[in-house]
């Protein structure tokens, strides 16, 4: 049989090397929360004796602890097993184009410190990552956690990522970051820690899966509508990355054959017609043409360009032009998502990103277009909602990415 095995992994992408049985027990606890030994044996199809041996070792390594009692089932009360909060600490970093969210969490995923800061991703990787490391050190000091006790860092970045190497590939909005060794940079300060880098929307999908609307469903699409448009795909409760790691890059799907030219060079991409940037541009145009007094007033108030947020505010005040922009953007996005619903038949579509705060008309237009254009069979049980945790879904995801890479399976 497999020898029980638990040691430091000495790997840059995982912290501890454990035998398959250990990993199974850890993953089951991660997935379902507190369990008794009997629950574990039933869940995994292991014998009581095997589970007892594994649990004994995990207790000895302080990975888990015994807590309270399970509800009595007539006989002797069973002790429940749970993760030991202090066994490990993880850091999550959600890098956006203009801001960064950083958090420190314990082994149970509970955030102990967090910080939000403005950045400009165009400054390039070294200045940004140097700043990020300093912020992490400050958070750790506040939380009284030694830097050497950080076991894993999860990083979300706004571009396509080679997940194995942990580098960005051909990132359109952050050219200086291409192939920059983010993992190695962070391991200079945290040499003992696993460092995992992923695309920001994949990270958001992971956060949504663990803490948002995705907790109860197997297959869903998380759509981020911000400056650009992207999607994170979950298949069987796992992030689906595709063959080259760029699955979910839906921003350049054609939605109108004779639409405007996109920055990618093609015509009628959804990103050129319904992203936060496109909404802002259409509104700015309307303001300049004086077709909307409210939008024009935002422009005269000093800003060079109306923001998507301001379009939402104008719509709430009943501005018809703003409302039309929001409705048509939602409708176009819904047309694209309808095609993806036919193809992928997800249980749920979750809309996040800044534009998801623009008001309910936007969501209603998305829903209407999806229901109109998708097969009825594929929309019978389909839910389409805003992310309920939109402001922290990226940070939550980055922390979960780190937690997911604490252990690696080693057969011995």
- 378, 341 contact by CB (below 8 A): yes
73 burial via Cβ count (<10 Å: 0-12, 13-18, 19+): exposed
- Shortest CA distance to 87 belongs to which of 66, 104, 63, 103? 63
- Shortest CA distance to 231 belongs to which of 374, 370, 373, 352? 352
Q: How far is the CB of 36 from its own copies (least distance, A)?
A: 18
Task: Sketch the per residue contact string, 212 through 231, with its own copies: x for CB under 8 A, - otherwise.
Answer: -----xxx-----------x
| CA-CA-CA-CA dihedral for 224, 228, 233, 239, to nearest 10 | -90
Under the binding rule (CB under 8 A), the answer on residue 261 touching its own copies is no
Under the binding rule (CB under 8 A), the answer on residue 354 touching its own copies is no
Task: Sketch the per residue contact string, 263 through 292, with its own copies: x for CB under 8 A, - otherwise.
Answer: -x-x--------------------------
> For its own copies, which residue of 131, 347, 357, 368 counts as binding (CB under 8 A)?
347
**CA–CA gap between residue 109 and residue 83 (Å, rounded):** 10
Nearer to its own copies, 31 or 48 (CB): 48
Q: Tell me the DSSP string of 165-219.
A: TTEE-S-TT-GGGBT--HHHHHHHH-TTSEEEEEEHHHHHHHHHHHHSGGGG-SS
Q: How far is the CB of 399 from its own copies (least distance, A)?
A: 26
- 321, 355 contact by CB (below 8 A): no
> For its own copies, which residue of 336, 350, 351, 393 counts as binding (CB under 8 A)?
336
Of 47-55, 83-91, 295-303, 304-312: span binding its own copies (CB under 8 A): 47-55
Q: How far is the CB of 180 from its own copies (least distance, A)?
A: 17
Q: Which residue has the tokens 């909404």?
A: 279
> For its own copies, which residue of 103, 226, 245, 312 counts as binding (CB under 8 A)?
245
CA pseudo-torsion sign 396, 401, 406, 412: positive
Give the footprint of its own copies on residues 72-101 (CB under 8 A).
Answer: none
Under the binding rule (CB under 8 A), the answer on residue 165 touching its own copies is no
Collapse the DSSP code of 149 into the 3-class scheme (helix H, G, I; strand E, B; otherwise coil) and give the result.
helix
Of 24-32, 63-71, 316-324, 369-377: span binding its own copies (CB under 8 A): 369-377
Collapse the DSSP code of 238 into the 3-class scheme (helix H, G, I; strand E, B; otherwise coil) and give the result.
strand
Nearer to its own copies, 100 or 229 (CB): 229
Nearer to its own copies, 355 or 370 (CB): 370
Contacts of 164 (CB under 8 A, 6+ apart): none
In the complex, which residues of this chain contact its own copies (CB under 8 A)?
1-2, 20, 45-47, 49-50, 160, 169-170, 217-219, 231, 233, 235, 240-254, 256-257, 264, 266, 335-336, 338-340, 342-347, 372-378, 380-382, 411
């Amino acid at each position: 049989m497999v020898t029980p095995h638990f040691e430091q992994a000495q790997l840059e992408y995982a912290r501890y090397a454990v035998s398959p049985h250990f990993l199974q027990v850890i993953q089951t606890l991660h997935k379902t929360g507190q369990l008794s030994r009997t629950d574990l044996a039933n869940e995994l199809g292991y014998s009581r004796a095997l589970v007892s041996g594994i649990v004994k070792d995990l207790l000895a390594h302080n990975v888990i602890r015994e807590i309270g009692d399970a509800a009595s089932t007539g006989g002797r009360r069973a002790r429940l097993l749970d993760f030991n909060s202090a066994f490990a600490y993880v850091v999550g970093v959600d890098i956006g184009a203009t801001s960064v969210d950083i958090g420190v969490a314990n082994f149970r995923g509970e955030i102990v410190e967090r910080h939000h800061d403005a950045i400009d991703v165009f400054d390039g990787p070294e200045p940004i990552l140097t700043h990020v490391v300093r912020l992490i050190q400050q958070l750790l000091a506040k939380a009284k956690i030694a830097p050497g006790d950080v076991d894993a860092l999860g990083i979300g970045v706004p571009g396509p990522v080679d997940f194995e190497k942990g580098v960005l590939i051909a990132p359109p909005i952050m050219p200086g970051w291409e192939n920059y060794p983010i993992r190695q940079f962070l391991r200079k300060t945290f040499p003992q820690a696993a460092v995992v880098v992923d695309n920001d929307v994949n990270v958001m999908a992971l956060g949504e899966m663990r803490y948002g609307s995705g907790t109860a469903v197997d297959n869903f699409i998380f759509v981020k509508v911000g400056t650009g448009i992207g999607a994170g795909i979950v298949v069987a409760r796992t992030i689906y990355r595709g063959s080259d790691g760029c699955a979910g890059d839906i921003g350049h799907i054609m939605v109108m054959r004779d639409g405007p030219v996109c920055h990618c060079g093609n015509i009628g991409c959804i990103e050129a017609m319904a992203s936060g940037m496109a909404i802002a541009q259409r509104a700015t145009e309307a303001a300049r043409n004086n077709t909307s007094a409210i939008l024009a007033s935002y422009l005269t108030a000093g800003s060079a360009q109306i923001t998507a947020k301001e379009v939402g505010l104008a719509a709430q005040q009943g501005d018809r032009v703003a409302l039309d922009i929001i409705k048509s953007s939602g409708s176009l996005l819904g047309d694209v998502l309808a095609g993806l619903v036919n193809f992928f038949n997800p249980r749920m579509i979750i809309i996040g990103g800044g534009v998801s705060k623009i008001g309910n008309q936007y969501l209603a237009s998305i829903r209407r277009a999806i229901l109109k254009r998708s097969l009825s069979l594929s929309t019978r049980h389909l839910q389409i909602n805003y992310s309920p945790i939109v402001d922290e879904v990226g940070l939550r995801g980055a922390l979960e990415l780190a937690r997911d890479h604490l252990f690696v399976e080693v057969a011995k």
